[in-house]
């Protein structure tokens, strides 16, 4: 047996040892498991999470009304329309993004459980967040990144994030794109016996619940109403799951949860050829779609990120539209923030035009920017990779071929994904399976629909 085969054969054992959370106790029958028990048994209630975050410079970020962006959106809306747009400015967290909320609980738990260090597999802001918290709590930290293609070319955004991790004292292991990432991650966990600071553990998701709660709380106190909609950038699903749970915990049960991702349709995330043809390394369909339809594809036995349980709508934005809104935020509001954090802002800008003036739409997060994360760096990199740069006339943006920039805010529009299509894709993983009553009850919650609809979908799947 090769080392690769040996490590992969004991992946469940490694993952369990690196979390010390017995996932078997949550299993019920077949594909079903007790999701709420898993979340509750993590051992951190809401007040405890809040206190840990407050003690570590995380949370209580400002909720800013984007008055100039709202005014600009209303320019393209019919009379009486154009909802007020607010932004939860998560760039002001320790480490510069909402990921600090996830990292603080995971790293705190690692310290509490006696681990000597933490490991995270991420090329995003989460790595910096884990590294920053590890530095505060005097733990070793290893961040594993996909950075290069086979020509040793790397995106400026990923290099910037690696620099940030190293600034906090983390060891950064950089890999070429491909399936070896998961193997290397497991191998490091096995050799070091460090804690798996996974994005998809209950600890990471519970850390985000405070974000949704703060949005609801501040809106109610300052504006005497809950937001009508909250737009959340969707990748692995934890951001949306935690925020939605926090909103509902406060009582904002009627607030619409709208997922937003960058449309990178046609680009394969594990492809050496496609790796550097995208201008966004997170918040895109390459993560958002597969993790919605198969959440347990993650680095834990059962993912705590279950986005289909909570989302009411899912919209896609083009890369060019997000870059446009990123510049608009700087020019109109004096706020320079990273493009990935503006995916949901671009969606909210378009969605607000369909809502009435007295309604409120909240953009759930922002992120810090820097030399490599700045949109000019990303656009220059795209040009170097042969991506065509065009302004919107009759041109359509094709991921991997061109970036199409809107001529004005009128051209910033979204594409709707039908949630039933995602739910059907989820169920296709269980084609020809006969579900028990317990499994149907699980799927009712998992897909946020009724059992009759699930049976109809399964019948259609099995016949085709």
Q: What is the pLDDT of residue 373?
A: 87
- Distance (Å, rounded) from C-alpha 369 to C-alpha 340? 9
For position 371, what pLDDT does the model report? 81
pLDDT class of 181 with cuts at 50, 70, 90:
confident
In a domain, 110, yes or no: no
| 176 and 258 housed in the same domain | no
Check residue 269 and give its pLDDT: 84
Retrieve residue 163's tokens: 């620099």
Pair (301, 277) in one structural domain: yes
pLDDT of res. 124: 79
Domain extent, residue 32, equals: 3-50+117-202
* Interior/surface letters 308-321, b for 16+ CB within 10 angstroms, e for the rest: bbbbebbbbbbbbb
User: Given a cut of 80, is residue 393 above it in pLDDT?
Assistant: no
Residue 173 maps to which CATH number?
A: 3.40.50.1100
Predicted pLDDT of residue 372:
84
Give the pLDDT band (50/70/90) at residue 85.
Answer: very high
Q: The tokens of 205 are what?
A: 């998701």
CB atoms within 10 A of CB 463: 6
Which of 150, 170, 202 is where one domain is finished?
A: 202
In a domain, 88, yes or no: yes
Any domain includes 102 = no
Say yes or no: 81 and 218 in one domain: yes
Quick check: is 112 in a domain? no
For residues 190 and 254, give the distance between their C-alpha atoms in angstroms, rounded to a whole number.
Answer: 45
pLDDT class for 178, splitting at 50, 70, 90? confident
451 and 394 in a single domain? The answer is no
> Which pairing describes strands 360-363 and 84-88: parallel, antiparallel, or unpaired?
parallel
Residue 118 β-bridge partners: 141, 195
**What distance lies between CA 321 and its chain's CA centroid?**
19
Q: Indicate if 198 and 224 belong to the same structural domain.
A: no
Count of domains forming the chain: 3
Are residues 245 and 186 located together in one domain of the fold? no
Three-state DSSP state, 316? strand
Does residue 164 sit within a domain?
yes
Q: What is the gyration radius of the CA atoms in the chain, in angstroms?
A: 21
Report the mean per-residue pLDDT for the chain.
Answer: 95
Q: pTM for this one?
A: 0.96
**Residues 130-177 pLDDT 10s:** 999 999 999 999 999 999 999 999 989 999 989 999 999 999 999 998
* CA dist 99 → 59, 92, 200, 242, 359 (Å): 11, 11, 12, 11, 28
As a whole number of angstroms, the distance between CA 375 and CA 160 comes to 13
DSSP 111-144: HHTT-SEEEEE-SSHHHHHHHHHHHHTT-EEEEE
Determine, yes or no, domain membership for 268.
yes
Please indicate, yes or no, whether residues 188 and 216 belong to a single structural domain of this protein: no
Tell me what percent of the residues of the chain surpass a pLDDT of 70: 100
Residue where a domain terminates, one of 162, 178, 202: 202
The last residue of one of the domains, among 146, 178, 202, is: 202
* 434 domain-assigned: yes
> Are both 327 and 453 inside the same structural domain?
no
Residue 464 in this model has a pLDDT that exceeds 90: no
Q: Are residues 160 and 297 in the same domain?
A: no
pLDDT digits (tens, 9 = 90+) for 271-292: 999 999 999 999 999 999 999 9
**124 vs 205: CA distance, rounded Å:** 17
Q: Are residues 294 and 196 in the same domain?
A: no
**Same domain, residue pair 138 and 268:** no
* Inside any domain, residue 105: no
User: 142 and 24 in one domain?
Assistant: yes
Strand stretches in 337-440, DSSP E: 360-363, 388-391, 402-405, 415-417
| Beta carbons within 8 Å of 58's beta carbon, 6+ residues apart | 93, 94, 100, 101, 104
Question: Tell me: the pLDDT tens digits for 216-267?
Answer: 999 999 999 999 999 999 999 999 999 999 999 999 999 999 999 999 999 9
């Amino acid at each position: 047996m090769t080392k690769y085969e040996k490590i992969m054969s004991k992946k469940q054992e490694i993952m369990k040892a690196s979390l010390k959370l017995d996932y078997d106790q949550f299993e019920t029958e077949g594909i079903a498991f007790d999701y709420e028990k898993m979340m509750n048994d993590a051992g951190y209630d809401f007040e405890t999470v809040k206190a840990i975050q407050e003690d570590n410079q995380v949370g209580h970020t400002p909720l800013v009304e984007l008055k100039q962006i709202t005014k600009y959106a209303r320019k393209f809306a019919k009379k009486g329309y154009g909802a007020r747009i607010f932004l939860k400015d998560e760039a002001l967290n320790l480490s510069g993004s909402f990921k600090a909320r996830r990292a603080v609980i995971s790293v705190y738990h690692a310290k509490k459980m006696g681990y000597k260090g933490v490991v995270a597999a991420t090329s995003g802001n989460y790595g910096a967040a884990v590294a920053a918290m590890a530095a505060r709590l005097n733990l070793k930290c290893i961040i594993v990144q996909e950075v290069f293609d086979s020509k040793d070319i790397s995106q400026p955004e990923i290099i910037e994030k690696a620099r940030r991790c190293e600034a906090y004292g983390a060891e950064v292991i950089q890999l070429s794109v491909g399936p070896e990432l998961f193997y290397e991650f497991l191998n490091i966990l096995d050799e070091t016996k460090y804690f798996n600071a996974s994005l998809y553990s209950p600890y990471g998701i519970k850390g985000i619940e405070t974000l949704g709660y703060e949005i609801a709380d501040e809106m109610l106190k300052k504006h005497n109403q809950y937001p009508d909609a909250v737009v959340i950038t969707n990748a692995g699903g934890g951001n949306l799951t935690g925020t939605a749970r926090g909103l509902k915990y406060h009582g904002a049960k009627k607030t619409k949860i709208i997922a937003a991702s960058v449309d990178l349709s046609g680009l394969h995330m594990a492809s050496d050829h496609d790796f550097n043809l995208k201008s966004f390394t997170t918040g895109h369909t390459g993560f958002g779609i597969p993790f919605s339809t198969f959440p347990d594809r993650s680095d834990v036995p059962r993912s705590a990120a279950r986005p289909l349980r909570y989302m009411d709508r899912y919209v896609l934005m083009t890369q060019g539209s997000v870059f446009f809104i990123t510049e608009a935020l700087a020019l109109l509001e004096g706020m320079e923030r990273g493009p990935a954090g503006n995916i949901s802002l671009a969606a909210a800008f378009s969605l607000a035009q369909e809502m009435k003036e007295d309604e409120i739409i909240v953009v759930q997060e922002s992120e810090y920017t820097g030399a490599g994360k700045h949109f000019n760096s990303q656009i220059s990199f795209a040009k170097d990779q042969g991506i065509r740069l065009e302004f919107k006339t009759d041109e359509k943006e094709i991921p991997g071929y061109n970036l199409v920039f809107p001529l004005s805010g009128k051209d910033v529009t979204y594409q709707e994904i039908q949630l039933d299509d995602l739910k059907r894709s989820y169920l296709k993983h269980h084609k020809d399976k006969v579900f028990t009553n317990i499994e149907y009850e699980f799927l009712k919650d998992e897909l946020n629909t009724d059992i009759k609809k699930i049976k109809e979908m399964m019948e259609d799947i099995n016949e085709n």
